[in-house]
Structure 1
């Protein structure tokens, strides 16, 4: 699978356009949402795709989770900008941060509930705003996880490959993922609220919480690349959740 990620990015564009956009009743961004936003879209997309809800719920926590009152919860307005993970109070703040860095030349950054990398996957979205939309972000991640599951025949290994193809990074991520998935509340007990239709964005920004627990420190070399980063990039995907 040396060029599989590039192939996924380039050849999957038309298929992913359908996957990401879906039907009008489900296309949504939950623009005012908090930690429940990622869980809501994870449940919706699990129903759409057949990817187990607990897999998606665990992935979004592994990617963006932070503790509040002792509970690990995902956060949709998270950006990992070239190795620095930052949480924002709102989508508008996160979007403004990403766009300001983009204008300054940044391309390697991850956004949203499932931390999709702009450099390698941005062409499958209409723009950065679209990539931030929780439902679009989740659909893309689920489609990719489905492909990894078809390869590995194991959701734990698919989750590890979602992060990295380098064994030491993948195994560390998988251990974290397994711990999180084992401690999830019953996914069936989490109500599914239909996501709201996309609304225009208002661009304002204030950087808030910084995630100080990157899984891979910048400068580490990855012999085999993370699944959301092509093998030729020479970098690995970002951070572990805070706490847990």
Structure 2
């Protein structure tokens, strides 16, 4: 899974799918995860992944990164392999089993969503992260009639201002995705 990935550069952002290309008609992790929810599109889920685990790359580009951890103690960390991310995650959780750490492609909060998987390391699997992230996003969107607020509740539920700002950032990313990346582009 660490291997071959096709990339699509656009507007200062690099579109990256796991583990196969994200092109119209191809079955990808975002399409599979979004298909279980009538209010989540693959492009919207991908935009959330960009917002959550965006890793800076050379040339001013960025990509969502599946082996990302983010905690108040250490900040965002991007690991070259799943194994290295798992090791760092084990260290974090051995010090505090209920640590405030966001994990994986969709940066699932271990503190708030640990009940959705059997163990934290599962969230470093892009398929699991996308599936759990799509479910959380669907629930957040259903919680309100206001799109920006619903999108933002994926990231921050309590503060409507922070939620709306986050929602606007995600929509901006989604609008910049090339139409051929997903059928719903």
User: Same-fold call, TM > 0.5?
Assistant: yes
After TM superposition, the score normalised by the length of structure 1 is 0.59
Q: Is the 8 A contact 2:67 2:80 kept in 1?
A: yes
Q: Is the 8 A contact 1:79 1:87 kept in 2?
A: yes
Task: Please state if 1:121 is matched with 2:113.
Answer: yes
How far is 1:96 from its partner? 0.6
Structure possessing the higher relative contact order (Cα contacts under 8 Å, 6 or more residues apart): 1
2-side partners of 1:143 and 1:123: how far apart? 13
Q: Is the 8 A contact 2:42 2:182 kept in 1?
A: no
> What is the count of residue pairs matched by the alignment?
161
In structure 2, list runs of 5 or more residues that go unmatched: 6-15, 23-27
Q: Is the 8 A contact 1:112 1:134 kept in 2?
A: yes
2-side partners of 1:133 and 1:33: how far apart? 16
1:51-62 to 2 correspondence within 5 Å? Answer: 51-62=40-51
2-side partners of 1:162 and 1:98: how far apart? 22
The counterpart of 1:152, out of the listed 123, 144, 148, is 144
RMSD value, Cα? 2.4
In structure 1, list runs of 5 or more residues that go unmatched: 1-29, 192-244
**Further displaced range: 105-114 or 164-173:** 164-173
2:10 corresponds to which residue? none
Q: Secondary structure at the match of 2:77?
A: strand
2:162 corresponds to which residue? 169
Q: Secondary structure at the match of 1:179?
A: helix
How far is 1:154 from its partner? 4.6
How far is 1:181 from its partner? 1.3
Structure having the higher strand fraction is 2
Please identify the structure whose Cα radius of gyration is greater.
Answer: 1
